[in-house]
A and B are shown apart, each in its own frame.
Chain A
């Protein structure tokens, strides 16, 4: 169980979110990691890191196709920036440490746990939140599939599941149930809606198939 988003575990998505990749990326200048790792990264990365903070810094995020300016402390996560500063509250803060997937958004075309990305590190990348992929009146096909198959109860995990499913299906056009059990292993639901979620992902895979047609599974 638990997260299977790391491609080294699944052997499936070639360019997916990886904890190791995340650690490498965030290691530069974040000050959030142990010194030994930072020292090793420093050797591997000659140009000195740009130091910002600790007070709020002005940043620009490209969210759902639009540039957005905000001021946040460098320690503010992408999920907190979205929720507290931009009122984009589809992504939920649940575990706040990269376990449950409720905060999943797309960044540079890949699903990420937005609680585990710093807002300042998300600059320059296309960020897509659930607010950017549809509305209650015009549901994205993945959202519609969750509704059609009752893949939700309290609904708090649903936006994260929808984004994770969308990201997964964009890389796996014709998944088997076994495929997406691994692909969605990084999202947790407490109400127990996995039967509906399974049916939803299968339906969404069919709906989206023409759009992602040429790609082979895996």
Chain B
């Protein structure tokens, strides 16, 4: 090619496929139950694995006796994960695994494994620092900015509050695990894994390091993943255990998936964060000082000092202290905007309390202090506060805190905010155009249900001027060009950029071949409506099929490479804000909080498929409503055990719990020019803040700790919080 290809997105008003609302392309196979998730796979000769996990929150394994298990019916292999001498630091930690001919045999066999434990002291408490034994709570830093003492001395209004957000679990419906087969040994090993992962790209390399097998000898395949939310990146101990069970059983494939209890105990949770906050300010709502003590836990490693509290607002005079609490619970994992829900909740609650103390409307107080927000976001937040207030009927429905009128049902409104990056990750994609006109796109990404398959096809169809149905897309295999982990809302920006580039490159090759036939230079051609034609000249054209036929026997195969090191060229950027408003009713006799209506105003960039983008925002809000109203990992200090490692007492929101939800995506040319920005995480941030504030607004007192369950609400009403 003579010139640098022009990869930039076609102008918004000329797009034919991007920006439209096609249904998700894997909808039929999912809706008919035919989508084969890795946990659905059955192979000839496949063995079933089962796990033995620690019943203790903290213990030293003195000995593991597997002799009875090895002799049990159907058992083909046994693998010890925590041998004598090992220390286990949470209930549910892996001790050993068994592979047997049937699942029932495997489960029976693990019960025959005899483990002798020396039980060690544990801590599972984090909410109440006073109750945490000294060795488990460690001061973890102080940060001082400006002169907070002066700010509090001179303040016209000082508010004070306590807030907390507990550990919640990811509770992916498809548990963690994999089917895995390890044949041979050492460098002669051949490993095939069928995992449930958010990161097909790195899986082989990670697993290879654990197993000391070259990554080139490991193949990974995954067509569908049943939820991840940040908890399914690395291959994890169960992949190592499963692989070893397979090898020991002569290379038969082993299906090893966590049962629900184990899933809840150790396969993903979000760290807690609690805070005591004082806010200083003026009567007009200007905030001048922040004093915050935070504490929380992400497991046995505690929790480092969060650097984002207060959230978004960089308050000039502040003192921040943090205590790291170590709990003997399953380790935390990334959760859909890690650290942001906690920071947003504490900040938005403290500002709402300040507004209530000052007798002001919180929308005005948030707006008044936007000068503390990052300069690039201020205007957008301002517009969003106005838009969200309008959509939520704020002017009509909001009332000063507690002035909810007579009767036991109190209605209230509250708001929360979000920020996130979401620029695309490094990504490589291949587009193949064959002489018969068929097109294949190859990329090793995964579709978490966000619609990744669909939006790649929209980008390629737009680029090649073809219908989506004419393009074959392969994803989810280690044989394909490298994309990256689906985390940080980086997937859509990455895959759209690389698939656009590979398709532009492939098309340029096709133009070179057919240009002589049309009597023009390649750069005078365009692909549109299934034709290759001289730009703007419908009469001078070849059909797609006729053009491809000119390739003779040689297919075109072109890569599109995006390194994410300054080479985005405007195709993908990061940096979005969001404002959300909850409208709730609280029964002050029962403490039950009911969602009336929820409003999510979401900043965005170029939206490839508004239908799927809206679904992602709805989903983030609904997941957030679950965490705000119901979800909490409940721990018992006496035994060190989780009391609700299940789905009947660990409650997710159901269809009747979520109320009405309205989503406003700010799709317009000005935003479109920012390029593609990921949306998986930002709308998942503000919900606890919005709902917590709405409850306070309704009942007149702050309910400090999420979730807004009847006991928390009634305790706050009775002054017991």
From 96 to 117 in chain A, residues with beta carbon under 8 angstroms from any chain B beta carbon are 96-97, 99-100, 102
CA–CA, A180 and B103, complex, Å: 36
Beta-carbon contact of B647 and A99 below 8 Å: yes
Which of B403-411, B617-625, B669-677 is the contact stretch? B617-625
Q: Which A residues touch B48, using CB under 8 A?
A: 84
Given contacts A94-B647, A136-B29, A192-B619, contact A187 B655 (CB under 8 A): yes
Chain A residues with CB below 8 A from B102, complex form? 73, 84
- Per the 8 Å Cβ criterion, residues 153-201 of A in contact with B are 153-159, 162, 180-182, 184-185, 187-198
Q: Considering the chains assembled together, what is the distance between the CA atoms of A148 and B28 in angstroms?
A: 10
Chain B residues within 8 Å of A134, by CB: 32
- How many angstroms between the C-alpha atoms of A138 and B29 in the bound complex? 10
> Can you list, as one digit per residue, whether each of B171-199 has a CB less than 8 Å from chain A (1) or not (0)?
11111000000000000000000000000
Q: What separation, in Å, do the CA atoms of A144 and B619 have in the docked complex?
A: 20
User: Does A69 sit at the interface, judged by CB under 8 A?
Assistant: no
A130 contacts partner chain B, Cβ-Cβ < 8 Å:
yes
Return A140 CB to nearest CB of chain B, in Å.
Answer: 7
Within the complex, which residue of A93, A95, A135, A150 is in contact with B34, where a contact is CB–CB below 8 Å? A135
Judge if A90 is at the interface, Cβ distance under 8 Å. yes
Given contacts A139-B28, A147-B31, contact A153 B647 (CB under 8 A): no
**In the complex, which range does the number of interface residues on chain A fall in?**
35 or more
Known: A143-B31, A185-B654, A197-B655. A154 touches B24 (CB 8 A): no
Q: Are B623 and A97 in contact (CB under 8 A)?
A: no
Judging by beta carbons under 8 Å apart, are A190 and B171 in contact? yes
Contacts of A158 in B (CB 8 A): 30-31, 33
**Partner among B30, B171, B612, B646 whose Cβ is within 8 Å of the Cβ of A97:** B646
Contact across chains for B611 and A150 when beta carbons are under 8 A apart: yes
* Segment from A29-37, A44-52, A75-83, A209-217 that makes contact with B: A75-83
B450 at the interface (CB under 8 A from A): yes
Q: Is the CB of A185 within 8 A of B655?
A: yes
Q: Is there an interface contact between A96 and B259, defined as CB atoms closer than 8 Å?
A: yes
- Binary interface profile of B, 84-114, with partner A (CB < 8 Å = 1, else 0)? 0000000000000000001110000000000
How close is A158's CB to chain B, nearest CB, in angstroms?
A: 5
Asked whether B375 is an interface residue with its Cβ less than 8 Å from the other chain, the reply is no
Least distance between A196 CB and chain B CB atoms (Å): 6
Q: Does B615 contact A (CB under 8 A)?
A: yes
* Residue ID in chain B nearest A181 by CB atoms: B656
- Contact partner, B648, options A2, A75, A83, A180, Cβ 8 Å: A2
Specify which chain B residues have a CB less than 8 angstroms from the CB of A129 in the assembled complex.
33
Please give me the residue from chain B that is nearest to A133 by CB atom: B32
Q: Kindly state whether residue A123 has any CB partner on chain B within 8 Å.
A: no
Closest to A198 in B: B655
Known: A2-B651, A2-B654, A185-B655. A95 touches B260 (CB 8 A): yes
Complex Cα distance A2/B647, Å? Answer: 9
Q: Would B449 and A152 count as touching, CB distance under 8 A?
A: yes
Do B621 and A154 have beta carbons less than 8 Å apart? Answer: no
Taking chain A's interface residues, is the majority helix, strand, or loop, or is none over half, making it mixed?
Answer: loop
List the A residue with the shortest CB-CB distance to B684: A192
The smallest beta-carbon distance between A208 and chain B, in angstroms, is 15
A130–B661 CA distance with the chains assembled, in angstroms: 30
Q: Looking across the interface, which residue of chain A has its beta carbon closest to that of B629? A: A1
| Most interface-central of B224, B654, B658 (chain A CB within 10 A) | B654
B31: which of A75, A156, A162, A191 is its contact (CB, 8 Å)?
A162
Q: Does A60 contact B (CB under 8 A)?
A: no
On chain A, the residues within 8 Å of B254 by CB distance are none
Let me know if A192 and B173 touch, CB within 8 A: no
- Considering the complex, give the chain B residue whose CB is closest to the CB of A84: B103
Q: Does A89 contact B (CB under 8 A)?
A: yes
When the two chains form the complex, which single residue of B30, B174, B448, B626 contacts A152, counting CB atoms closer than 8 Å?
Answer: B30
Q: Measured between C-beta atoms, what is the minimum distance from B261 to chain A in Å? A: 9
Best-buried of B31, B173, B224, B630 by chain A (most CB within 10 Å): B31
* B26 contacts the other chain (CB 8 A): yes
B142 interface residue per 8 A CB criterion: no
Interface string of B669-712 (1 = CB under 8 A from A): 00000000000000000000000000000000000000000000
Min CB gap A135→B, angstroms: 6
Whether A193 and B618, one on each chain, are in contact in the complex, defined by CB atoms closer than 8 angstroms, is yes
- Asked whether A139 lies within 8 Å of B32 as measured between CB atoms, the reply is yes
A130 touches B33 (CB 8 A): yes
Which residue of B33, B36, B648, B653 is within 8 Å of A99 (Cβ)?
B648
Nearest CB in chain B: distance from A50 CB, A: 21
Question: Shortest CB–CB separation between residue B272 and chain A, in angstroms?
Answer: 20
Residues of A contacting B370 in the complex (Cβ-Cβ under 8 angstroms): none
- CB-defined A-B contacts under 8 Å, sample of 6: A1-B630, A136-B28, A143-B28, A156-B174, A193-B619, A194-B653
19 A-B pairs besides A152-B30, A159-B33, A194-B653 with CB distance below 8 A are A89-B33, A94-B647, A95-B647, A96-B260, A100-B173, A131-B34, A153-B448, A153-B450, A153-B619, A155-B226, A156-B174, A158-B31, A185-B655, A189-B655, A192-B653, A192-B658, A195-B618, A196-B618, A197-B655
Please give the residue numbers on chain B whose beta carbons come within 8 Å of chain A beta carbons, in ascending order: 23-24, 26-37, 39-40, 42, 48, 102-104, 171-175, 224-227, 229, 259-260, 448-450, 611-612, 615-616, 618-623, 626, 630, 646-648, 651-658, 661
Q: Which residues of A contact B (CB under 8 A)?
A: 1-2, 4, 73, 75-76, 80, 83-84, 87, 89-97, 99-100, 102, 129-131, 134-137, 139-140, 143-144, 146-148, 150, 152-159, 162, 180-182, 184-185, 187-198
Closest 9 A/B residue pairs (Cβ): A90-B33, A192-B622, A153-B449, A156-B226, A130-B33, A155-B30, A154-B449, A192-B619, A89-B40
